[in-house]
Structures are given as structure tokens and as C-alpha cells.
């Protein structure tokens, strides 16, 4: 039975079919407006989907209208055979301003702060090591304030927030440009900025 399962798995992997749930993992990050984080990650090879939502607070059913004590975040489903968690963390750093404790770009307040929510001890160790290495590198001229937190309760954001950049491309571009997100990332990271931003 094990041999047959292994053979079938191998055949599926070689056919280019989507990875099954057992072969995928979840990364959870917060980087300001979840519309932007979702778009940045959905274009990464190996990422299967990115879902906007609320986490990090105490309400049982947060919504966009009452999520002030929660953080806008994104759950990224990915195929670890194509992209590693460590690679996703590096992309995350280079698509946000991890030195800003008050929010991100034009969006201010707790809801828009950055965080990495570790879904396992292994993820926490990888994210912590990455943060320490980045701080010591001197690439950024200020301290990294993004916390590494344990993942907790998660609530998907309302349907109209999911894939907002696809549903409302013009409004999304106006918002992103007006918020100064990409200009700040390029100013902060230079050539190190994540190539998929905008």
C-alpha cells in the first residue's frame, strides 16, 4: 500500500497537477493593507493561494468594521517543493517596511502593523533567525520592529476583500500608488526590494 501511494504521489507530482492539501503548507504574515500583501504573494512561484483575513486579536468574529484590535493579515498556501518558508520570509521582509511600528505607508494604527505569525516551532525558528540575520546585516538603517508571533485564531475577510486587485484593478492601483507603498519599499530596500511589488 505504501509503495502504491508513493508511486501515485510521484506520478501526480510529475504531471504538473496542483499539490494536494497534504503537500501544502501555510505561512501567515501581516504587512499593512491585506490587498497589497495578497497580490505580492500570489505572483510568487510555488504559492497556490493567498487569503486576506483578520488575526492577532480577541474578537471571535472580527469584521472590517470592527477589526481595530485585530491585524489585517494574509494566509499563504504554498507548495514547499517549489518555494520554502525561508524564501517566503525573505520576500515578506522586502515587500514591507519592517522598521515602522505605527502601521504601513499611509495606513496607520494597530490593524496595519507588520507581523509574522508562526504556525509551528520550525516556522518561528526560521523567521527569528531571518530577522536576526537581517538586523545584523545593516541593510536597513533602523531597528526591525516586526514581531514574530504565534499564529492564533483566524477569520477570513469578507468576500469583497479577496482578490481585490483583480476585482477592482483601477481602484487598487490608485490606492497603492496614492499610499506610497512601492516608493517607500524601493527607497528602503533599493535593489533588494521584492521584484513582485506593485
Which of 33, 36, 106, 179 is the catalytic position? 33
Reply yes or no on whether 106 is catalytic: no
For 88, how many CA atoms within 13 A lie in the half-sphere containing its CB?
36
C-alpha grid cell, residue 9: 504521489
Comparing CA positions, the residue from 49, 40, 143, 43 lying closest to residue 94 is 40
C-alpha grid cell, residue 44: 510568487
Residue 98: alpha-carbon gap to chain centroid: 13
Query: In Å, what is the CA distance from 198 to each residue of 23, 63, 97, 181?
Result: 29, 26, 14, 8
Catalytic residues: 33
Amino acid at each position: 500500500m505504501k509503495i502504491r501511494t508513493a508511486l501515485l504521489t510521484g506520478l501526480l507530482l510529475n504531471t504538473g497537477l496542483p499539490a494536494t492539501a497534504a503537500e501544502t503548507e501555510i505561512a501567515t504574515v501581516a504587512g499593512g493593507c491585506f490587498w497589497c500583501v495578497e497580490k505580492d504573494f500570489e505572483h510568487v512561484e510555488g504559492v497556490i493561494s493567498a487569503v486576506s483575513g483578520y488575526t492577532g486579536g480577541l474578537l471571535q468574529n472580527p469584521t472590517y468594521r470592527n477589526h481595530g484590535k485585530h491585524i489585517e493579515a494574509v494566509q499563504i498556501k504554498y507548495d514547499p517543493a517549489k518555494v520554502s518558508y525561508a524564501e517566503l520570509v525573505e520576500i515578506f521582509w522586502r515587500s514591507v517596511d519592517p522598521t515602522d511600528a505605527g502601521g504601513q505607508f499611509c495606513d496607520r494604527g494597530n490593524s496595519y502593523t507588520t507581523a509574522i505569525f508562526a504556525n509551528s516551532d520550525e516556522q518561528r525558528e526560521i523567521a527569528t533567525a531571518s530577522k536576526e540575520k537581517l538586523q545584523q546585516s545593516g541593510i536597513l538603517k533602523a531597528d526591525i520592529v516586526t514581531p514574530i508571533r504565534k499564529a492564533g485564531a483566524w477569520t477570513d475577510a469578507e468576500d469583497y476583500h479577496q482578490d481585490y486587485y483583480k476585482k477592482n484593478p483601477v481602484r487598487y492601483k490608485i490606492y497603492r500608488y496614492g499610499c506610497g507603498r512601492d516608493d517607500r519599499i524601493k527607497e528602503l530596500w533599493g535593489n533588494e526590494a521584492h521584484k513582485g511589488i506593485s
